[in-house]
Structure 1
Amino acid sequence: MCSQIFRLVILTSVAYAAAVRRAAQASDQILAIAPTSNTCAGAPVPAECRTNVQAAPFLTAAMATYNIYSPPEIAAVLSVVAFETGDLKYNTNITPGRPGQGTRNMQLAHNNFLYAKSFPELATKLSAITTADSTDGLSDDKLNAIRALVLPDEYAWASGAWFLTTQCNASVRTALQAGGQAGFEAYMGCLGVTATPDRLTYWNRATAAF
Structure 2
Amino acid sequence: MLCKTVLLAGALALGAFAAPIPNCPENENSYTAPSTDNKSTTGSITAAQLTQIAPETASCSGAPFPEECADATTAATALSKSFDTYGIKTAGEKAALIAYTLFESGNYKYSKNHFPGRPGQGTRMMAMPPFIAKYATAVAGADAVATASAAGGDAGLNAVLALVNSDDEKSFGSAAWFYSTQCTEDVKAGVAAETVEGWHNFLTACVGTTLDEARDTPWVAAKAVILA
TM-score, normalising length: structure 2: 0.76
Report Cα offsets for 1:23-50 as digits up to 9, x if no partner.
Answer: 7x61112112222111111100000001
Contact 1:184/1:195 (CA < 8 Å) preserved in 2? no
Give the distance between the partners of 1:96 and 1:205, measured in 2 at CA.
29
* Residue number in structure 1 paired with 2:143: 124
* Residue number in structure 2 paired with 1:94: 114
Runs of 4+ deviating beyond 4 Å: none
* Residue number in structure 1 paired with 2:175: 160
Give the distance between the partners of 1:148 and 1:200, measured in 2 at CA.
30
1:197 matched to 2:216? The reply is: no
Report Cα offsets for 1:150-185 as digits up to 9, x if no partner.
Answer: 002120011110010011111100111111110001
2:64 match: secondary structure: coil
* Residue number in structure 2 paired with 1:7: none
Give the superposition deviation at 1:192. Answer: 1.4
* Residue number in structure 2 paired with 1:174: 189
Give the superposition deviation at 1:129. Answer: 2.5
Give the superposition deviation at 1:148. Answer: 0.7
Give the distance between the partners of 1:141 and 1:200, measured in 2 at CA.
35
Within 5 Å, give how 1:40-79 maps onto structure 2: 40-79=60-99
Unpaired stretches in structure 2, ≥5 consecutive residues: 1-42
Give the distance between the partners of 1:130 and 1:159, measured in 2 at CA.
19
Contact 2:79/2:169 (CA < 8 Å) preserved in 1? no
2:46 match: secondary structure: helix
Give the superposition deviation at 1:123. Answer: 3.3
Larger radius of gyration: 1
Contact 1:27/1:53 (CA < 8 Å) preserved in 2? yes
1:158 match: secondary structure: helix
Q: Residue 185 of structure 2 aligns to which amino acid in structure 1?
A: A
Q: Greater RCO between the two (CA within 8 Å, min separation 6)?
A: 2
| Structure (1 or 2) with the greater helix fraction | 1
* Residue number in structure 2 paired with 1:188: 203
Give the distance between the partners of 1:130 and 1:101, measured in 2 at CA.
14
Give the distance between the partners of 1:80 and 1:99, measured in 2 at CA.
21
Selected match of 2:163 from 149, 157, 164: 149
Give the distance between the partners of 1:84 and 1:34, measured in 2 at CA.
13
Give the superposition deviation at 1:108. Answer: 0.8
Contact 1:34/1:88 (CA < 8 Å) preserved in 2? no
Unpaired stretches in structure 1, ≥5 consecutive residues: 1-21, 132-137
